[in-house]
Copies of this chain bind each other. A is one copy, B any other.
Amino acid sequence: MIEAIQNHRSVRKFKPDAVTDDLLNEILFAGSRASTTGNMQVYSIIVTQNEELKKKLWEIHFKQNMVLEAPVILTFNADFNRFSIWCNLRKAQPGYDNFLSFITACTDALLASQNIALEAENSGLGICYLGTTTYNADKIIDVLHLPKGVVPVTTMVIGYPAEIPELTDRLPMDAIIHRELYQDYTSVNIDKIYAEREDSEMTRQLLKINNKESLAQIFTDNRYTKKDNVFFSKKYLEVIEKQGFMNNK
């Protein structure tokens, strides 16, 4: 197996060592080799190394320390701006201000990001994705001056790891794989799939600290609450509309 795939862990503590321009360029180039819809490359990547901008991004990303510590922050955007400008300059009428085009551009951005994650790890760097990108996309747009046609989808911090965490456990493969047809889950399946994780020492500690009955409650009540999800859903849909991806008529 590709070593970088096998050894991936999210790194959240970084050494202050800089990433050289040559190395960064090679990693970014690896991103550009990912599959992209119709070879349109409808994504963009903002490289943040400036301390002031990093501080602003740190605030946006819920003040997670790794955003300040990591020498490089990459913001991945769904981007039909460049492509549409090109069309307009070539007597072609771009029709990419709609939801399907947004999803197409998200796909491009995310495939490129995973190539970059793996190539960074292959070069001895550590990475962590920031899910907070979709929460505060409006603020990222302001700080990074993203024009219409551009929406942030994910962010990655990159740097030399100051920690090597344990590999994270994953559910057994039959939690995610279905052969031929989707097999819906019975309570027996679910018990089996989650048994090892629910029985673990880490879960026992989490339940104690959080004073919860089940690991699932820590997700629904603390980590990913309905209230937050609904709030950020509305906000992200507004961003998508404001950036011009909701003209579906």
Interface residues in chain A, defined as those with a beta carbon under 8 Å from any beta carbon in chain B: 1-2, 4-6, 8, 10, 25-26, 28-35, 37-41, 43-50, 53, 79, 81-83, 85-87, 89-96, 98-101, 103-104, 106-107, 110-115, 117-119, 122, 128-129, 131, 134-135, 144-147, 150, 153-154, 168-171, 173, 175-182, 184-185, 187, 190-191, 193-194, 213-217, 219-221, 223-227, 229-230, 232-234, 236-237, 247-249
Q: Do A100 and B134 touch (CB < 8 A)?
A: yes
Cβ A175 vs Cβ B82 within 8 A: yes
In contact, B221 and A92 (Cβ under 8 angstroms): yes
Q: A5 is contacted by which of B33, B53, B134 (Cβ under 8 Å)?
A: B33
Q: How many copies does the complex hold?
A: 2
Q: Whole-angstrom distance from the CB of A156 to the nearest CB of chain B? A: 9
A170 with B2: CB separation less than 8 A: no
Residues of B within 8 A of A134 (CB): 100, 103-104
Sample (28) of A-B pairs whose CB atoms are under 8 Å apart: A5-B33, A5-B34, A5-B119, A32-B171, A32-B173, A35-B117, A38-B224, A45-B176, A45-B177, A49-B180, A53-B181, A82-B176, A85-B185, A91-B214, A95-B220, A95-B225, A95-B230, A96-B229, A99-B233, A100-B134, A100-B236, A101-B224, A104-B134, A107-B131, A112-B176, A114-B115, A115-B118, A147-B182
